[in-house]
Chain A
Amino acid sequence: MDFCFDNGVFKEVSNSPPTPKTASCSTPHENAHPALSEMLTNCVHCGFCLAVCPTYQMTGDENNSPRGRLRLWREEAEGRLAPDPFTAHYTTECVGCLACEPACPANVPYGEILEQVRHQHVDAARTRPPLSLRFAAALSKRQWLFNLAMFPARILRSLGILPHKFLFAGSPPLMESTAGYAQRLMAEHRPTGPRVALLTGCLMESVFREINFATVRVLIENNVQVVVPPDQGCCGAFQEHLGLDGIDQLRDQNRAAFGKASVDAVVCNSSGCGLALSKTLTDQVPVRDVLGFLGELKLAQRTPSEKDALVYVDLPCHLIHGQKQQGIPANVLNATGYRWELAPQARDCCGSGGIYNIQKPENSQEILRGKSEFLNHATGSPVILATSNHVCMMQWNSARSAGLVTRPYQVKHVIQLLDPGDKGLRRGGTRAVS
C-alpha cells in the first residue's frame, strides 16, 4: 500500500508493488532484493515486538529480537555492516512464531522478510541447516517417498511404542490413505453441505495419519463434503523454515492440485501448513483452518466418557499470529463436550517453531519450560493438552521426557476431541443440519 501526502490529505497511490526508495547516498548490498530493502524501512524501531518475542524474553539480548534482527538485516542490506556471522546466528535463533507481527504498530511484514533472509543466508552458505533436516526436506518433496521413510514410525506408534520424545501416542492407520478413506466415507454417507478439499500434509499423513482420518470423520459427520486431491504435496514449510530452494515447485504443485478441485474452501488441520498453503493459493480458493471452518457450522455435540477430564487449550502461533485468527472458536471447543479452559500463556509460543526444536533444542526446551510448568499442578483426570498443530503436539509431548512435566498427561488435537470414531459416525440423529 503506497500513500502520498497531497494537499493535507493522504491518498493511496496505486496497488502496484511499491517502488524501491533507493536514494543516491545508500549502497544496497548486492544480494538485497529491492522489495526486501523497502520492507525493512517500515520498522520505526519502537520496540513493541520485544515484549512478545520468546528469544528476547529468554536472552535479554536486543539482537535476539525482531527489532534487533531487522536492524542487522537493514544494516547489511544498506552496506553499513559487512556480512557478519552473528547476523546469520541471530537469524537462526528466530523461532519464526510471528508473534511480532500483530504487536507491530507499523505492520512490518516480518514473516515475509524472514523467509527471504533465511533463503539468502542459505544461498550464500552463511547458514547450513543440519543434514537430517535437509534430508527430511528433500524427502518431503515427494509424498510417496516421505510416506515410505516414515512407515516405521507409523508402525511403532500403532503398536504403542514411542521411542522418540516427539512421537505422541495415537493409532494411525497403516495401509489406507486419507484420500482413499475420504472417498469411501463420501460414498457411504453422501454429505450434502459445503464442499472442502483437505490438505493432508507430509508429516501428518505419513506419521500422524489418525488425525487426518479424524478430520475426515468430523467433517462428514457435520454434513461437509470432503475431497482429497491426490496430487497434492507438502506445503513447503520445511523449505521455508530452513531457507532451502524448492518452495516454488511445491507451491506450483499445490496450485495445480487444489486449483482443479471445485470447492468452497481448502481446509487444513495444522496451522503452520495452513499458513504456508494460504500464501500459495492466495487468489485461487480460500484456505481455512479446519476448526475455524467448523466453527461456522452448527456442530454435532459429543459426550465424552471421561467425566473428570479437563482440557487445556493451547493456541498455535501460526494460527493466531500467522493466520491472524482470534483463536479456536469457543463453540468448537464446547462441541467436544469436555470441560475446557485456555492454558496459561496460551498465546505464547511453545518453542516448537516447526523444526526449531530440532535445530535449537536448548532454546526450544527453555521456552517450553515456562509454558509447560502449569501441567505439573493442573487438575483433571485425565489432564489433556489440546491444540491444533501437529508440531506443537510433538513439542508438548516432549515435555515429559525432558523432565519438565513429571505427571501423566495426554496430548491431543482438538479435532480428535470432536471425533465420533469410525463406528460412531452416522448421519442424522444428533448431527446438526448445516
Chain B
Amino acid sequence: MSLFLSPCANPETCQMNTTLESQLKRTIRRGRVLSSPAQLAGYNTDGLGYKTFRPDAVVIPADAEEMIALLRESRELNVPVTIRGAGTSLSGGPVAAQGGIVVHTSSLKKIRTISRDGFWCEVECSVTLNQLDEALRAHNLFYPPDPSSGPVCTLGGNVAMNAGGAHCFRYGVTSNYVLGLEVVMLDGSVHRFGGPAGGRGDWHEDWKRLMVGSEGTLGAFTRFWLRLLPRPEKAWTFRATFPDLHSAEKAVHGLVVHPSFPVAIELMDPRFVAMVENSPMAVGLPTDAFLLVTEIEGPAVLVDARVHSVAQLLKDAGALEVNFSDDEEQRKKLWKARKVAGGLMGQLSPDMIVQDAVIPKSALAELLQLVYDEADAIGIPAINVFHAGDGNLHPNFLFDSRKPGELERVEAISKRLMRRVVEVGGTLSGEHGIGNDKARYMPLVFGPESLRLQLAVPATFNPRHQLNPLKVFADRSFVGANGQKLSLKHAHGDEHSEKNEAGETLGPRLFTPFLDTIDGVTCVAADITASKLDELIGPHRLRFPLLMDASLPLCVQVKASEYAPASSRFGELCDNIIGMNWRLADGRVVRIGERVVKSTTGYDLLRFLMHSDGRFGEPVDFVLRLRPHCGMDGLIELSGPRAVVTKAMPELLQSCWMNWFDSVDVLAESKSEILTVRIAINTPSDEWHVFESMLAAFASAQKLAFRTIPQAPAPIDGCPDFALKTTPDRAIALASELAATYGIKCLALCYNGVVHGYLNDVANAATVVQKIVQSHATPLHESGGDWHSRHLPRPAAHGVEAQWISVLTTEFSKK
C-alpha cells in the first residue's frame, strides 16, 4: 500500500495546488472544484482499491459546456487530466497516475432521446446502465452489454473501456453498439463521430472506432448514440454441477454451438464452489464440483421448445445435477452462487486482484492448472470464474497488500500467467481494459512494430499524453507544455514497471492459417471466396453467414459495404473479423487484432483500418468469427404493396423474433409497387415449423402474401454498387424511393438501416452513384450515417481531419 502523504506537507506542491485551484475556479463557475487533502483522497483509486494515486485537484463540471471550457484551458493548466465516470474500473483506469486533475463527469446524466423505431438512444456520458435499462423497459428495448457493475457504472466508462459482461457472448461488446459519440479534444474542440445512423458521419475515416476502448487517452466523451435491441420475451436459467473439468468442458463446447445460442455461459471451478459452500451464502452445491450457469432467452414459444434439449445436453455431458427455471425468483436463486462471489471474496481478504485474460477455450485446462500451481506455491487462495462462451478467464487472487512482499509476488504470478496466455494465442484483457495495472504486460503482446502503430493513435490526438498518462502503454508519460517530463514519483509501483526486457524483442506474431473448431475461429487469406471458405468450414458444421457473393474475394466485399444482410443478427463485418495480417502502405506486414473474439487490448486499429479506404494499407489475411450451422437454411418471403409493407415492418422488427432471423431485408425493384420482405433463417429442422407458423400468422394479420421456401439458402445478391447507412426507420422508404427514382434494385437491411443498391448499367455507375450521393449525402451525414461505393472514391479529408491523417500516416511509416 502506498504511503502517500498529504500534498500540503510539501510547501512546493502546496503552492502549485493553490495556483491550480484558482485557475480551475476561474473556469468552473457552476460546477465544483475540490482541493482539500481529504477530498482528493476520496478520488485516489477506482475499483482496484489497493492501488492509490492522489490527484492535485478534482473538478465536477456542471455540464458539457464547463467540461469543454476546462479542456480548452488544458494547455495553460499544464497538468495531466484524467476523466472519471463512476470509478468502478478494475484496471486502474480513471486514476491520476501522474497527479493532475481528475474530471468527474457525474453531472452529465440525462437520457436525452429514445427512438423505438430507430433502435437508438442518445445518452449523456454519466448515465448508468441500470438507469438506461429502466428507461428502455417502457419501450420494450434493451441495451445488451451488461458488465456486473451495471447499477453504478457509466456509459462513459463503458465506452472508454469497451466493456463486456456476461451477455456479450450472444450479443457482443460495447463497440458493437456505439452508433456515435461526441468527444471533446484537448484544445476544447468538439467533434461528433457517427450519430443515430451509426456510420462515420461526415468524415473520411471512421474515427469513432479509435475512440471506443481508448480508455480516456484521446478525448473526453460527452454523449453517445447507442444501438438497441428488442427485449427478449422470456428466459430460462440453468445451473449444473460437473465432477471434473473434462465433463464441464464437454458441456461448454456443446452449449457454444447449440442453436439456442445461450446468452451467457458461466463456469466456476471447485475452489469457487468450496468458498461459497463454506460461507453463510451456501446454496447446497456438491463441493469439489465445477459449477455452470447458463441462460437462454428469446420469444416464449422458441425458448420453451428448446429448454429440454439444453437440459439434456448438460446431462449427457455428465452433469451431477441440473436445475432450471423460468420463474423470476427461482432464476435469481440459480444465479445466486455466481453473484455472491465477488463480495464474498472481499470479505475474506483485504485485497484482491482479478485478471481478465481471454484464451482459446482449448487452453482452459492448462491455464487453470497454471493458476493453481502458481497460487499454491506462494500460499494464497485463487479462484477461477470463466465466461466460457468467449473464453474470458477471470482468475481471482486473494491477498493482503500489507504483508511485506505479497503484492509483488502476486504481480509476478500475474506476469507469468499473462505470458502464457499470450503464448497460447490469447489476449490480456477481454473487458476490463488495460488501465495502469496491465500496461506493464503490453510488451508481451506488441513488438516494436505493432507498438509504433498503437502509439500512432495518441500521437494524433494527445501527443504529450496529457489525457490519462501511464494508461494502456507504460511509455505514455506526460510531457509538459515546455517539454518538461513528469517524474514518475507519483506512480505507485513504478519500481515494478516493465519495459521490454533486455534481449527480448517480440517478433511480428503474424497470424498463420488455422481453424479452431472449438472456438469457431479461422484464419484465411483475405482474398478467399465464399465457396472456398465453405469448403473449409462446412464439414465442421460452421459457417460465415455474412457473405454476399459466391465468387468475389472477401476483401472486395469488405470494401463494398460494412454490412451484409446477416448483419441483422450477427453485426457488422468488423464485428465478425476479429484479426488481420495487414500490409502497410510501405509493404511491411503487421498483425492487427486477436484470434479470440473479445479483446480490449490497446486501440481498436482493426475496425479503423478495415473501414479506411486503402490509404493505410490492405488486409492480407483475416481471422474470422464463425457461427454454428444449426441444421437447415430456409427462406420466408412476405410481400405486398409498399404502404402495407412499410406499415407492417416496425411490428416485426420490434419483436424479439428479430434476433433469431439471420436477416430481414426488404427488396424494392425498379418501378414495382410491390415490396418483398425476405427473412432468412438457419435453424434445426424441428424448429422450422415454429418460425413458419409465427410468420404465417403475422402475414395474415398484416394482409401480406406469404411464401415459405424451406431448404432455400440465404439469398446471394452480390456485392452492392453502393451502400447507404441511415437509421433503421428510414431504410425501407429510402430503398423504395431510390428503386423508383433510378429504376434499380435496392435492398433495405431493415434492422441495420442499410440500403444496398444494385445498378443495371455498371458502365455508368460512377455517374449514377454521384447523383445519389449528391441528393442524399447531407441528410445521411446529419444523422451520422455515411455512404460507400466501389465506383466512387470518398471526398478528400479537409481541415482538422487532414491533419490527423497526416500524423497517422507519418507515424505509421516510421521504422
Cβ-neighbour of B86 out of A8, A50, A72, A103 (below 8 A): A50
B38-91 interface (Cβ within 8 A of A): 38-39, 41-49, 58, 60, 86-88
Asked if A84 CB lies within 8 Å of chain B CBs, one says yes
Whether A46 pairs with B346 at a CB distance below 8 angstroms is: yes
B559-608 interface (Cβ within 8 A of A): none
Chain B residues with CB under 8 A of A90: 38, 42
Asked if B32 CB lies within 8 Å of chain A CBs, one says yes
- Report which residue of B45, B280, B380, B402 has the largest number of chain A beta carbons within 10 angstroms of its beta carbon: B402
Chain A residues with CB under 8 A of B87: 47, 62
Considering the complex, give the chain A residue whose CB is closest to the CB of B126: A60
Given the known A-B contacts A43-B49, A47-B87, A72-B41, are A105 and B34 also in contact in the complex, defined by CB atoms under 8 Å?
no
Whether A10 pairs with B402 at a CB distance below 8 angstroms is: no
Whether B347 pairs with A107 at a CB distance below 8 angstroms is: yes
Given the known A-B contacts A8-B274, A26-B402, A103-B151, are A62 and B346 also in contact in the complex, defined by CB atoms under 8 Å?
no
Whether A82 pairs with B343 at a CB distance below 8 angstroms is: no
Whether A47 pairs with B402 at a CB distance below 8 angstroms is: no
Chain A residues with CB under 8 A of B38: 63, 72, 75, 81, 84-87, 90
Q: Quick check: which of A17-25, A249-257, A366-374 contacts chain B, the rest being far away?
A: A17-25
Query: Min CB distance, A120 to chain B, in Å?
Result: 15
Asked if B271 CB lies within 8 Å of chain A CBs, one says yes
Chain A residues with CB under 8 A of B58: 62
Cβ-neighbour of A44 out of B4, B43, B152, B352 (below 8 A): B352
Contact string against A for B residues 424-465, beta-carbon threshold 8 Å, 1 for contact and 0 otherwise: 000000000000000000000000000000000000000000
Whether A47 pairs with B41 at a CB distance below 8 angstroms is: no
B172-212 interface (Cβ within 8 A of A): none
Majority secondary structure of chain B interface residues (helix, strand, loop or mixed): loop
A38-80 interface (Cβ within 8 A of B): 41-48, 50-52, 60-63, 68, 71-72, 75, 78-80
Whether A11 pairs with B278 at a CB distance below 8 angstroms is: yes
Chain B residues with CB under 8 A of A81: 6, 37-38, 41
Asked if A136 CB lies within 8 Å of chain B CBs, one says no
Query: Min CB distance, B345 to chain A, in Å?
Result: 8
| Chain A contact residue count (CB 8 A cutoff) | 47
Whether A26 pairs with B1 at a CB distance below 8 angstroms is: yes
Query: Min CB distance, A345 to chain B, in Å?
Result: 11
Whether B151 pairs with A68 at a CB distance below 8 angstroms is: no
Chain B residues with CB under 8 A of A135: none
Whether A5 pairs with B381 at a CB distance below 8 angstroms is: yes
Asked if B340 CB lies within 8 Å of chain A CBs, one says yes
Cα–Cα, bound, A23→B107 (Å): 40
Chain B residues with CB under 8 A of A3: 278-279, 348
Cα–Cα, bound, A242→B87 (Å): 31
Cα–Cα, bound, A105→B398 (Å): 16
Cα–Cα, bound, A11→B287 (Å): 13
Chain B residues with CB under 8 A of A52: 151
Asked if B350 CB lies within 8 Å of chain A CBs, one says yes
Considering the complex, give the chain A residue whose CB is closest to the CB of B42: A63
Cα–Cα, bound, A8→B86 (Å): 35
Whether B346 pairs with A106 at a CB distance below 8 angstroms is: yes
Asked if A1 CB lies within 8 Å of chain B CBs, one says yes
Asked if A104 CB lies within 8 Å of chain B CBs, one says yes
Given the known A-B contacts A60-B104, A61-B60, are A47 and B36 also in contact in the complex, defined by CB atoms under 8 Å?
no
Whether A45 pairs with B41 at a CB distance below 8 angstroms is: no
Contact string against B for A residues 145-184, beta-carbon threshold 8 Å, 1 for contact and 0 otherwise: 0000000000000000000000000000000000000000
Contact string against B for A residues 1-34, beta-carbon threshold 8 Å, 1 for contact and 0 otherwise: 1010100111110000000010111100000000
Cα–Cα, bound, A50→B154 (Å): 12
Asked if B304 CB lies within 8 Å of chain A CBs, one says no
Chain B residues with CB under 8 A of A80: 3-5, 41
Query: Min CB distance, A73 to chain B, in Å?
Result: 10
Chain A residues with CB under 8 A of B44: 71, 75
- Report which residue of B278, B340, B380 has the largest number of chain A beta carbons within 10 angstroms of its beta carbon: B278
Contact string against A for B residues 319-355, beta-carbon threshold 8 Å, 1 for contact and 0 otherwise: 0000000000000000000011011111110101000
Whether A106 pairs with B343 at a CB distance below 8 angstroms is: yes
Query: Min CB distance, B19 to chain A, in Å?
Result: 20
Cα–Cα, bound, A11→B278 (Å): 6
Whether A9 pairs with B278 at a CB distance below 8 angstroms is: yes
Considering the complex, give the chain B residue whose CB is closest to the CB of A9: B274
Cα–Cα, bound, A106→B32 (Å): 31
Asked if B403 CB lies within 8 Å of chain A CBs, one says yes
Asked if B130 CB lies within 8 Å of chain A CBs, one says yes
Cα–Cα, bound, A80→B348 (Å): 24
Cα–Cα, bound, A26→B3 (Å): 9
- Report which residue of A11, A43, A60, A86 has the largest number of chain B beta carbons within 10 angstroms of its beta carbon: A60
Cα–Cα, bound, A398→B64 (Å): 35
Chain A residues with CB under 8 A of B287: 9
Query: Min CB distance, B163 to chain A, in Å?
Result: 14
Query: Min CB distance, B382 to chain A, in Å?
Result: 9
Whether B342 pairs with A75 at a CB distance below 8 angstroms is: no
Chain A residues with CB under 8 A of B107: 60
Chain B residues with CB under 8 A of A68: 42
Whether B42 pairs with A72 at a CB distance below 8 angstroms is: yes
Chain A residues with CB under 8 A of B36: 84-86
Cβ-neighbour of A106 out of B5, B46, B347 (below 8 A): B347
Chain B residues with CB under 8 A of A41: 350
Given the known A-B contacts A80-B3, A87-B38, are A25 and B47 also in contact in the complex, defined by CB atoms under 8 Å?
no
Query: Min CB distance, B278 to chain A, in Å?
Result: 4
Whether A63 pairs with B39 at a CB distance below 8 angstroms is: yes
Whether B346 pairs with A23 at a CB distance below 8 angstroms is: no
Whether B278 pairs with A47 at a CB distance below 8 angstroms is: no
Whether B49 pairs with A105 at a CB distance below 8 angstroms is: no
Chain B residues with CB under 8 A of A61: 32, 34, 42, 60, 104, 106
Whether B151 pairs with A51 at a CB distance below 8 angstroms is: yes
Query: Min CB distance, A84 to chain B, in Å?
Result: 4
Cα–Cα, bound, A3→B348 (Å): 6
Asked if B404 CB lies within 8 Å of chain A CBs, one says yes
Asked if B149 CB lies within 8 Å of chain A CBs, one says yes
Chain B residues with CB under 8 A of A48: 149, 151-152
Given the known A-B contacts A3-B348, A9-B278, A61-B60, are A46 and B149 also in contact in the complex, defined by CB atoms under 8 Å?
yes
Cα–Cα, bound, A3→B128 (Å): 35
Asked if B275 CB lies within 8 Å of chain A CBs, one says yes
Considering the complex, give the chain A residue whose CB is closest to the CB of B404: A25
Contact string against B for A residues 96-135, beta-carbon threshold 8 Å, 1 for contact and 0 otherwise: 0000000111110000000000000000000000000000
Cα–Cα, bound, A263→B586 (Å): 89
Asked if B374 CB lies within 8 Å of chain A CBs, one says no
Chain A residues with CB under 8 A of B279: 3, 10
Query: Min CB distance, B638 to chain A, in Å?
Result: 42
Cα–Cα, bound, A107→B280 (Å): 12
Cα–Cα, bound, A107→B149 (Å): 16
Cα–Cα, bound, A196→B101 (Å): 59
Cα–Cα, bound, A105→B270 (Å): 21
Query: Min CB distance, A370 to chain B, in Å?
Result: 13
Whether B86 pairs with A23 at a CB distance below 8 angstroms is: no
Contact string against A for B residues 376-412, beta-carbon threshold 8 Å, 1 for contact and 0 otherwise: 0000110000000000000000101011100000000
Cα–Cα, bound, A414→B468 (Å): 54
Query: Min CB distance, A37 to chain B, in Å?
Result: 11
Whether A23 pairs with B381 at a CB distance below 8 angstroms is: no
Chain B residues with CB under 8 A of A23: 400, 402-403
Q: Which 4 A-B pairs have the closest CB atoms?
A: A105-B343, A60-B106, A45-B49, A106-B346
A-B contacts, 17 of them at CB < 8 A, read A3-B278, A5-B381, A5-B398, A10-B381, A45-B47, A46-B88, A46-B346, A60-B107, A61-B104, A62-B58, A68-B42, A71-B42, A72-B38, A86-B36, A90-B38, A105-B339, A105-B340
User: Apart from A71-B41, A84-B36, what 16 extra A-B contacts exist at CB < 8 Å?
Assistant: A1-B347, A8-B274, A23-B402, A25-B402, A43-B346, A44-B343, A44-B346, A47-B47, A50-B86, A63-B42, A68-B42, A79-B3, A81-B6, A105-B340, A106-B344, A106-B347
Taking Cβ atoms with an 8 Å cutoff, the residues of A that contact B are 1, 3, 5, 8-12, 21, 23-26, 41-48, 50-52, 60-63, 68, 71-72, 75, 78-82, 84-87, 90, 103-107
